[in-house]
Amino acid sequence: MELINLAPRDRLQFSLPPLGLPVEFMRRGFESERTGAVVDTILIEPDLGRLTLSWRASIELRKNVFEVPMCVVGRMPSGWYRARKLGKTYYPNLQQLVADRTA
């Protein structure tokens, strides 16, 4: 993107980050539904040097919002899914495990 005469500098150039964002809605009983989020809003504030993106994702509910206790935005490591299925806590590294055990 290029903004001309919209910022303290005459010209401001930048690239948008990747717009694809995976979303997984976790239903009760370990059932999940994957979808992709779409960019809903792009807010450019050149005087503050800030770019804000808002995404939107949705699924159809069978009864009410309480059937979806968790939503994962982005990609999680396969170990996270394995630990969740086994009812265990996921630790991304040994340091996190030790910190949790000593706390």
User: Which residue, among 27, 102, 103, has the nearest Cα to 72 in the 3D structure?
Assistant: 27
Kindly report the pTM of this predicted structure: 0.70
Q: How far apart are CA 23 and CA 37, in angstroms?
A: 6
User: Which residue, among 49, 53, 44, 46, has the nearest Cα to 20 in the 3D structure?
Assistant: 53
Q: Side chain identity at 83, as an amino acid letter?
A: A
Quick check: 7 pLDDT over 80? no
State residue 34's pLDDT score.
92
State residue 90's pLDDT score.
94
Domain boundaries of the chain, sorted by first residue: 2-59+66-75
pLDDT per position as a tens digit, 52-82: 999 999 999 988 889 999 999 988 999 998 9
State residue 46's pLDDT score.
86
pLDDT > 70 fraction of the chain, expressed in percent and rounded: 100
